A and B are shown apart, each in its own frame.
Chain A
Amino acid sequence: MNNRLKVLRAERNWSQAELADRLGVSRQTVNALETGRYDPSLPLAFRIARVFEQPIESIFLED
């Protein structure tokens, strides 16, 4: 699954570590999410949507 995490994070000038802190996950997990090689669970996807104040479907896109 593709996502716009990297773009959204860059728009806010957040580092991966900062985003990881806000989401309550490790920096490695943020990296895995951004590269699209790890798909988050629904609870984490909702947390991501809340942090970026955007609906889930505008952050995560089907292949």
Chain B
Amino acid sequence: MPSPKPPRIARNPALRYVAVMAACMVFGGIAGAGAAVMGELRAVSVAMMAFVIALGMAGVIWMCVWWWRGLDEAAREAHKWAWWWGSTFGLAIGGIVLLTGMVVIDAEQAQTAFAAYDPVDLIQGGVFSVILVQTLGYAFAWVFWWARHR
């Protein structure tokens, strides 16, 4: 049975580009109008920020789904294995380093060292350090899986 023809917009890259640009203009217009009518209300800017982040995340997830569907089963297995073991070991090893560091550096030293930083930056630094150790563990585990299955 022949597969159904994709919609015209999916087949034509130029048309797709114009559609994305048009959608951006419409969203930009709505955001601008909202800001003009409601003023610089904090609630409105927070809502806009949440909407833009949600839109970005939806785009990233869509790309991930598209990328995942293109992988064969061994490549998927490598990623699943790396996700579980790499992230777990990355977090465990990172945790040992960070917790040991907390014991080695005493509270007074830490206060002096981090006094110049904004608390929000320190929280973000903590979040990114967790993401970093998990990503490093993931990368090592992924390479290890393929090396073991060569």
Contact = CB atoms under 8 A, between A and B. Distances in A.
A2 interface: no
Given A28-B146, A32-B149, A40 B75 contact: no
A40 B76 CA distance: 12
B72 A32 contact: no
A60 to B, nearest CB: 15
Contacts of B11: none
A26 B74 contact: yes
A29 B75 contact: yes
Interface string A17-34: 000000011101101110
Interface string B108-150: 0000000000000000000000000000000000000010111
A20 to B, nearest CB: 9
Q: Most chain-B CB neighbours within 10 Å: which of A29, A33, A41?
A: A29
B73 interface: yes
B58 to A, nearest CB: 28
Interface in B42-99: 72-75, 77
A26 B73 contact: no
A14 interface: no
Interface of B: 72-75, 77, 146, 148-150
Interface of A: 24-26, 28-29, 31-33, 35, 37-38, 40-41, 44
